[in-house]
Structure 1
């Protein structure tokens, strides 16, 4: 069964203190749903074309369905509610190759 992935790119993080609240809640929700953060950071990113060399996060789940369910979970929705106003990110859920 193909794995599922959350791919997040954060063009800007205006208030890192408020973002830390989201980050803590999101981490709890991801772990509770069986997700594993396999890449996170922004200090070593080589961006090409229209790529964004800011914070990038990659989270792996055992299946695409599990990744979707994790996003829709009450715990993750609570984390989303903690995002600060004006927050911007490029987020998607994708299926692995098998």
Structure 2
């Protein structure tokens, strides 16, 4: 079974306090669900469109596992704290 990667790109953060509250719950929820946070931060270097967006990459054992963690009550509680404090794009992609 191929691993899966949850990729989040933050277009903007309008409420840093909401993001901090989200982070306090989301990290532990993801790790408890078996996710491994590989990348978290702004790009060191950008190419092509050159977007300097905060990016997070989390590895999971499968797409289904990543979906289960995203949809879990613990992660959804973190999402409720974030609310509209950030505009972001989350994708779950299968590894090769």
Q: Fold-level match, TM-score > 0.5?
A: yes
Aligned residues: 96
Equivalents in 1 of 2:20, 2:77: separation in Å? 14
Preserved CA contact (<8 Å) 2:25 2:74: yes
SS class of match (2:84): coil
Equivalents in 2 of 1:55, 1:78: separation in Å? 21
Partner of 2:46: 47
Partner of 1:79: 78
- Write out aligned runs for 1:6-85 (5 A): 6-42=6-42, 44=44, 46-85=45-84
- CA RMSD after TM alignment: 1.5
User: Shift in Å at residue 58 of structure 1?
Assistant: 0.2
**TM-score normalized by structure 1?**
0.88
Gaps of 5+ in 1: none
Preserved CA contact (<8 Å) 1:10 1:88: yes
**TM-score normalized by structure 2?**
0.89
Judge which range, 30-39 or 11-20, deviates more.
Answer: 11-20
Q: Structure 1 residues 11 and 28 mapped into 2: Cα distance closer, same or farther (>3 Å)?
A: same
SS class of match (1:82): helix
User: Shift in Å at residue 15 of structure 1?
Assistant: 2.0
Preserved CA contact (<8 Å) 2:23 2:78: yes
